[in-house]
Amino acid sequence: MSDTIVRFDLPQSAIPTRWYNIQADLPRPLPAVLHPGTHQPVGPSDLAPLFPEALIMQEVSQERFIEIPEEVREIYKLWRPTPLLRARRLEKLLGTPAEIYYKYEGVSPSGSHKLNTAVPQAYYNKMAGIQGLTTETGAGQWGTALSIACGFFGLECIVYMVKVSYQQKPYRRAIIQSFGGKVTASPSDTTETGRRFLAEDPESTGSLGMAISEAVEVAATSGGKYKYALGSVLNHVLMHQTVIGQEALLQLRRAEAYPDVVIGCVGGGSNFAGIALPFVRNNLAHGYKTRIIAVEPAACPTLTRGKYVYDYGDTAGMAPLVKMHTLGATFVPAPFHAGGLRYHGMASVISELYDQGLIEAASVPQLECFGGALQFLRSEGIVPAPEPSHAIAMVIREALKAKEEGQKKVILFNLCGHGHFDMAAYDAFLQGKLSDYEYPQEAIDAAMAKVPQIG
């Protein structure tokens, strides 16, 4: 069947009814999350100023599966199940015996996977009687998704957008505003923390850590009117994304295939977790041997060059301390075109999987990413966002390796979003204006020197 069919679809009845929570299957539990002031384990009351009770309970839950509310599944029907496609033209271009499959999340109204968690987060906040949500966004995909989800449930949406992306991506900013979101370039003069960042560096291009600090401040000082929503990193966010991998398992069954390699780009961890965690479960529970590779930018090498220590989730030190692979909370990325893959830390779940040797990690320079993206779009007809171009670059490496070894491998990757709002990056690449950039070790050392010392 897989030799003739290139697209594998599912009926709406196949939309998952439950999210998968990998905390139930980890060989060792996640390290405790600590209060930023006391350095003691946080409890539900510590998180209450930022999140509704339902999401706090999901964050710490040890249940393997958590039911998806019917109201959320009804909205999921706007774009789910998403298609699984076989990249036969890319295979032919590469001359590889490998079979390449990709799960395409760009068909969502927001153009990326982010709506998978934005909808339930907005739903649970609406059920809790919250007036609106604050958040940060890097490339703008998360801000877009949350503004759409808030609109579905009648919530206000306040978005702090990393300043370099605010400047590079005017149309992403405009679409957030079109859906009703209020967008502010971060760091800004609208918050105490933003003013402090600007006093230290008036020309700051911003970072996700800074934008998180501003969004957290607004929520925490709102008197309960606003809560904070995060598009990656947290356990409940990654869990919401597992609808991707659950669907892919069903679709691969239709394709009569099972992956030898699963690949996803990784910044904070959300889209990678979405495609990978159900396959990690099969490795752990059923003895499968699938290689699972997280691919990050060489300019933001959190897993491959960061340290696995406790660090703040934001630059100002307002968010809880999480044990994670980190480049240091004061990390400020260069203005490279990696889209949203700019966060200084990695999700606790992904960090723990990597530390336990259950997944692999690799970093890729941006010229290789855009070169791979052009090969993909010219053969498959879909413009990838800059983020999944990292996964595509690794897919091409693995496909050419299979060619050299004469092995017929099955490769699956998550095409987590389209690049229709990222054409400035493609234009810069085509004009030869981009260059490779590796984050300097001395900058990592300087940021890591400020990481809190937790025993």
| Average pLDDT of the segment spanning 347-370 | 96
From CA 357, how far away is CA 397, in angstroms rounded?
21
Mean pLDDT of the chain: 93
Lowest mean pLDDT among 37-51, 101-115, 325-339: 325-339
List, in sequence order, every residue forming a beta bridge with 158; answer none if it has no partner. Answer: 134, 182
Lowest mean pLDDT among 31-35, 315-319, 351-355, 360-364: 315-319
Residue closest to 116 by CA, chosen among 293, 245, 267: 245
| Average pLDDT of the segment spanning 316-344 | 78
pLDDT(334) > 80: no
For residue range 280-302, list pLDDT tens digits in order: 999 999 999 999 999 999 988 99
Q: State whether CATH 3.40.50.1100 applies to domain 7-15+70-111+236-448.
A: yes
From CA 248, how far away is CA 414, in angstroms rounded?
10
pLDDT(250) > 60: yes
pLDDT(5) > 80: no
Lowest mean pLDDT among 238-252, 254-268, 317-331: 317-331
pLDDT(311) > 70: yes
| Average pLDDT of the segment spanning 381-410 | 97
Lowest mean pLDDT among 50-54, 121-125, 422-426: 422-426
Work out the pLDDT band at 455, boundaries 50, 70, 90. low
Work out the pLDDT band at 48, boundaries 50, 70, 90. very high
pLDDT(279) > 70: yes
pLDDT(454) > 90: no
pLDDT(338) > 80: no
Percent pLDDT > 90 in the chain is: 80
pLDDT at 340: 62
pLDDT at 337: 57
From CA 121, how far away is CA 270, in angstroms rounded?
14
pLDDT at 370: 96
| Average pLDDT of the segment spanning 357-378 | 97
For residue range 88-113, list pLDDT tens digits in order: 999 999 999 999 999 999 999 999 99
Q: Provide the residue ranges of all domains of the chain, joining segments of one domain with +.
A: 7-15+70-111+236-448, 47-68+114-233
Give buried/exposed letters for 209-235 (b at 16+ CB in 10 A, else e): bbbbbbbbbbbbebeeebbbbbbbbbb
pLDDT(220) > 60: yes
Lowest mean pLDDT among 91-95, 393-397, 447-451: 447-451
| Strands (DSSP E) found in 149-290 | 156-162, 182-186, 226-228, 261-265
For residue range 187-219, list pLDDT tens digits in order: 999 999 999 999 999 999 888 889 999 999 999
| Average pLDDT of the segment spanning 236-251 | 98
pLDDT at 207: 85
| Average pLDDT of the segment spanning 126-146 | 94
pLDDT at 284: 96
DSSP per residue, 206-271: --HHHHHHHHHHHHHTTTTSEEE--SSSSHHHHHHTTHHHHHHHHHHHHTT---SEEEEE-SSSHH
Q: State whether CATH 3.40.640.10 applies to domain 47-68+114-233.
A: no
pLDDT at 208: 82
Q: Which residue has the higher pLDDT, 319 or 401?
A: 401
Q: Which two tokens stand for residue 291?
A: 């290689």
pLDDT at 323: 95
**What is residue 30's DSSP assignment?**
P
| Average pLDDT of the segment spanning 424-435 | 91
